[in-house]
A and B are shown apart, each in its own frame.
Chain A
Amino acid sequence: MDPIIILQAGVATGTVLLFATIGEIFAERAGVLNLGVEGMMLMGAMSAFSVANSTGNAWLGVLVGMLVAGLLSQLHAFIVIQLQADQVVSGLALTFVGTGLSLVLGEGLSKAGAGALLPRFSLPGLAAIPFLGPIFFTNQSVMVYLGYLLAPAAWYYIYHTRPGMNLRAIGEYPAAADSMGVNIYRLRYFYVFVGGMLAGLAGATISLAVSPGWFSELTTGGQGWIAVGLVIFAQWNPLRAMFGAYAFGALRRLILDIQGPALLFGASNIFKTHQSLTYFLEMLPYAFTVIILVIGSREAVRNRLGAPAALGVPYVRGERGR
C-alpha cells in the first residue's frame, strides 16, 4: 500500500476515464446526451486490441478503435438528431448494441494474449521532481501524457476559440445560433462523433496500455458509466474532469491495494480477513456515480452546475408558438 504507487496507477486508470469524460463533455456541450459511452468504449477496446494483435501495430489499433467507436456514435446521432428520438433511450440502446457487438466480434480474442502494446516511458527531467515526478512522469503510458495535453487543449478550445463558442451556443440556445447561420445539425453530428472517437480512445487505452488484453465486458467494467457521472461532477469543464478522473482512478487502485496488507492502521485488516467486504468497496465508485447522476438530474442543481440548457432537447427549426 504505497501511496505513490496508488496515485501513479490512479493517474493511469484515470486517463481512461479522462478520455471518455472529455468526449462526453463535447457531445453534451453540443446538446446531445450520449449514454452509450460504455458500449462505444467496449467497441473501441475490442477493435483496437484485435487490430493491434493481427497487424502488430498498436497505433493502428488505436486509430481503428477510435474510428469504430466514432462510427457507432453516429447511429445515436442519427436517431436523436435526425429522428429526434429520446436521447436517454437511444443512448441506453447504444450501450446494449456496443456491448453485444463487441462480445460477438471479440469472441476468441480473450485467449489471444497481449501482442503489440503502446509504449510506456518516463519523461527525463520532469520525472525527477520530488513526489509529483514519480506519480505523473515516471514509467507511464504514452496515453497518460496525451491526457495531460488533451484536457487543457479541450478546455482552451471550448472557452477561447470561435468554434468552441459556437459549440457552447448550440448546446445552450440552438435557435440563437441557427438564426446566425450556425449549422446546428452538422455540428451536433460532428461533436457526437468526437465524443465517440474519444470513447474509443478510452477503450483502446485500456486494452493496449492500462490493463492490456480483451476480457469481454469486464474490459471496461462500467467505466463508461462513471465517465457519464464525471461529466456532471466536472461541470462540463475538461480541466475539472482531469481532477475527477484521476481521483476516481486512484480510488479504484486503492480499493484493490487495500486488500493486501495484514495490518491496516495498526489493526488487523478486515478487508483481508473478510474477502466479501471487498465487494462493498468495489461498489463504491459506482454508488458515487449513481448518486452524482441522481443529484445531477434535478433541474435546480443542473442550472447551478451550468448544464447546457438545451441538453437532451432535439432541435426543430422555426416552429411557431415555441
Chain B
Amino acid sequence: MIEPSSVIQMRGIVKRFPGVLASDHVDFELRRGEIHALLGENGAGKSTLMNILAGLYRADEGTIVVHDKPVNFSSPRQAIQAGIGMIHQHFMLVPSQSVTENILLGLDHPRFRLRLAENERRVAELGEQFGLKVDPKAKIWQLSVGEQQRVEILKMLYRGADILILDEPTAVLGPAETEQLFKTLRGMTTQGKSIIFISHKLNEVMAIADRVTVMRRGKVTAADVSTKSTSTAELARLMVGREVLFRVQKQPQTPGPVVLAIEDLTATNDRGLPALQKLNLQVHAGEIVGLAGVAGNGQRELAEVATGLRRAASGRILLNGENLTNQPVRRAIARGLAHVPEDRNRVGSSPNLSLTDNMIMKQYLQSPIGRGWQLDAGEAAAFAQRLKQSYEISAPSVETQARLLSGGNLQRLILAREITAQPKAMIAMQPTQGLDVGAVEVVHRLLLEQRQQGVAILLISEELDELLSLSDRVAVIYEGAIVGEVTDGDIEKIGQLMTGSV
C-alpha cells in the first residue's frame, strides 16, 4: 500500500485546540528527494500538522509512518532521532553562544570536554557538503538572519536528519538570500534529503516545490498537485476557496479638501539622529496617498510623529486645520486620527488583554461603554461581539486573549477598532505585512471602503504592488524628505526616487 519512495505517511490526523479544530482528518505524504510545499493561509493548520510531525504536539487521532515504521512522538527529540528536523520561523538559537556550541546543544556527545576545535572542523565540513557556509566560530548575534537560518538547518543535518521541515523560511529573508536558500535546498535533495516547505507565498511555491499539498481551515483541499501542471491562480483558488482578485477594484473618486497636512516636519530617530528633514505632505479627504521608500528612510518616525507618539523637533501637523504637533495622543484620537501601527502585536494591540479590551480602547471614555469612571462590562462585551461578527474575526469568544489570534484576525480587530471610531484621517503602516492572501484582500477592501467614506488615508508600505493598486498618488520618501510623487503608476520612476538616483 505504501509506495516504496514514500518516507512519510500521515493518515487521518486530528488535532483539537480549545474552540478550534486545527487539523481535521488530514492525510499527508512525503516522497524521498522531493521538495513538497504545504500551502495554505495563516491558520489553515499547516504549522499544527508539521508540529505534530516534529513531535511538538501530539495528534488526538491518526497514524504516522516514517520510513515504513509507525511512530508516535512525544518530544522533538524523538522526531529528530527518527530523522525529522523542523526549522521554525523564530530561530531557536542562543545569541551569546557560537555556531558550533548551538549545534552541539542538547546532544549526548562530546561526553564532558567540549573539544571545540574538533567540532568546529566537523561543522565546517558539513556546511561545505551542503552549501551552507557559515563561520563555526562566530557568535550567533554576529550573524545575519540568513546565516542564522543556515545554522538551524545545520543543527538538524548534524543530528542526521534526512527530512527537513521549513516553516515559512523566506519570511525573514531578502530576495538574494531567498535565492541562495532555494539553491541550497535543491542541492540537498540531490543528496537524498526530503524537504517540506511551509508557505503561503504562491510564487515561491511554484519556484521551489515539486509537489504541493494545499490546506484550508484544517483540511486538505488538494493533495499531490504537481507544480508543473498547475498555475498560481489555480493554487490561489485552492488556498482561499475562490478566485482571488489580484487587481483591486477601485472606484474613481475626486478628492475633497486637505484633511491631513504635514508641514516642514523635522524629527530624530531613537538614536538621536535626524530621521525627518523638513518633510511636506498633504492628504485629501477620500484619497489614499501611498508612501513608498526603502525601509529606514523615516517612514516609522513619520507615522509616530503624526500620531503623537514621537516628538517633532520642528514643523507642524494639521488635521482639518487644527495643529496637533506635539499634542497628547488622546487629542489626536478625539479629533479623528486613526492609526494602524506597523507592529500589530505590541503597539496595535495588547497581547494579554481580551478581544473586548482591545476593541474598546478608543471607546471606553464615551457612553455607553464608559459611565463616568466606570466601565459597563455588558456594553463593552456587546460592542466587541458586534465588531467580531461584522468584521468576521474568528476566535472562540470575545474573552479570548488577543495574542491567540492569527495575524489576519488581529489586523481585522485593529481595523475594526479604528474604523468604528469614525476617523477623518488614517495612518496605516505596513497593514498587510506577513498576512496571507485572504487577509490581505480584507485589509485592502476595508481601506478602500474608508476612502469611499471620505477618510484621508496615508498608506505606508514596502509592497510596491500594494501601493500602486490602492493609492491615488504615490509619494516617495528618501532620507526623511519627500523627493517626488507619482500618479501614473510609473514603477521605474518610483524605484529611481526610492534609491535617490533622481
| A residues adjacent to B (C-beta < 8 A) | 160-166, 168-169, 172-173, 175-177, 179-182, 306, 309, 318, 320-322
Which residues of chain B in 339-379 are interfacial with respect to chain A, using CB atoms and an 8 Å cutoff? 345, 351
Given contacts A173-B92, A176-B93, 17 further A-B contacts (CB under 8 A): A160-B114, A161-B112, A161-B113, A162-B112, A166-B106, A168-B94, A172-B95, A177-B94, A177-B106, A179-B88, A180-B76, A180-B106, A180-B107, A182-B106, A318-B56, A320-B403, A321-B403
Is B404 at the interface (CB under 8 A from chain A)? yes
B106 near A321 (CB under 8 angstroms)? no
- Distance, CA A109 to CA B235, complexed state (A): 82
Residues of B within 8 A of A320 (CB): 403-404
- Distance, CA A179 to CA B101, complexed state (A): 15
- Distance, CA A173 to CA B102, complexed state (A): 11
Q: In whole Å, how far is A222's beta carbon from the nearest beta carbon of chain B? A: 32
Residues of A within 8 A of B223 (CB): none
Q: A181: which of B75, B102, B104, B109 is its contact (CB, 8 Å)?
A: B75
* Interface SS, B side: loop
Task: Give the total number of A-B pairs whose CB atoms are below 8 A apart.
Answer: 75
Residues of B within 8 A of A168 (CB): 94, 96-97
Pick 16 A–B contacts, CB within 8 A, sort by A.
Answer: A161-B113, A162-B107, A162-B111, A165-B97, A165-B101, A168-B96, A169-B105, A172-B95, A172-B97, A176-B94, A179-B88, A180-B106, A181-B80, A320-B403, A321-B345, A321-B351
Q: A181-B76, A321-B345, A321-B351 are in contact. Are A169 and B94 (CB under 8 A)?
A: yes
Q: In whole Å, how far is B100's beta carbon from the nearest beta carbon of chain A? A: 10
Residues of A within 8 A of B97 (CB): 165, 168-169, 172
- Distance, CA A111 to CA B345, complexed state (A): 63
A175 near B92 (CB under 8 angstroms)? yes
Residues of A within 8 A of B56 (CB): 318
Residues of A within 8 A of B404 (CB): 320-321
Q: In whole Å, how far is B330's beta carbon from the nearest beta carbon of chain A? A: 28
B105 near A166 (CB under 8 angstroms)? yes
Residues of B within 8 A of A175 (CB): 92
B95 near A309 (CB under 8 angstroms)? yes
B96 near A176 (CB under 8 angstroms)? no
- Distance, CA A162 to CA B109, complexed state (A): 8
A180 near B105 (CB under 8 angstroms)? yes
Q: In whole Å, how far is A313's beta carbon from the nearest beta carbon of chain B? A: 14
- Distance, CA A273 to CA B105, complexed state (A): 61
Q: In whole Å, how far is A84's beta carbon from the nearest beta carbon of chain B? A: 15
Q: In whole Å, how far is B408's beta carbon from the nearest beta carbon of chain A? A: 14
Is B19 at the interface (CB under 8 A from chain A)? no
Residues of B within 8 A of A306 (CB): 96
- Distance, CA A286 to CA B97, complexed state (A): 34
B112 near A163 (CB under 8 angstroms)? yes
Q: In whole Å, how far is B232's beta carbon from the nearest beta carbon of chain A? A: 30
- Distance, CA A182 to CA B95, complexed state (A): 17
- Distance, CA A165 to CA B106, complexed state (A): 9
Report the nearest A residue to B51, measured CB to CB: A318
Which residues of chain B in 57-115 are interfacial with respect to chain A, using CB atoms and an 8 Å cutoff? 75-77, 80, 88, 90, 92-97, 101-102, 104-107, 109-114
- Distance, CA A309 to CA B110, complexed state (A): 25
- Distance, CA A166 to CA B105, complexed state (A): 6
Q: In whole Å, how far is A321's beta carbon from the nearest beta carbon of chain B? A: 3
Residues of B within 8 A of A164 (CB): 114
B95 near A173 (CB under 8 angstroms)? yes
Q: In whole Å, how far is A30's beta carbon from the nearest beta carbon of chain B? A: 13
B96 near A182 (CB under 8 angstroms)? no
Q: In whole Å, how far is A156's beta carbon from the nearest beta carbon of chain B? A: 9
Report the nearest B residue to A159, measured CB to CB: B114
Q: In whole Å, how far is A165's beta carbon from the nearest beta carbon of chain B? A: 5
Which of A160, A180, A320, A322 counts the most chain B CB atoms within 10 A? A180
Contact string against A for B residues 162-199, beta-carbon threshold 8 Å, 1 for contact and 0 otherwise: 00000000000000000000000000000000000000
A176 near B105 (CB under 8 angstroms)? yes
Residues of B within 8 A of A321 (CB): 345, 351, 403-404
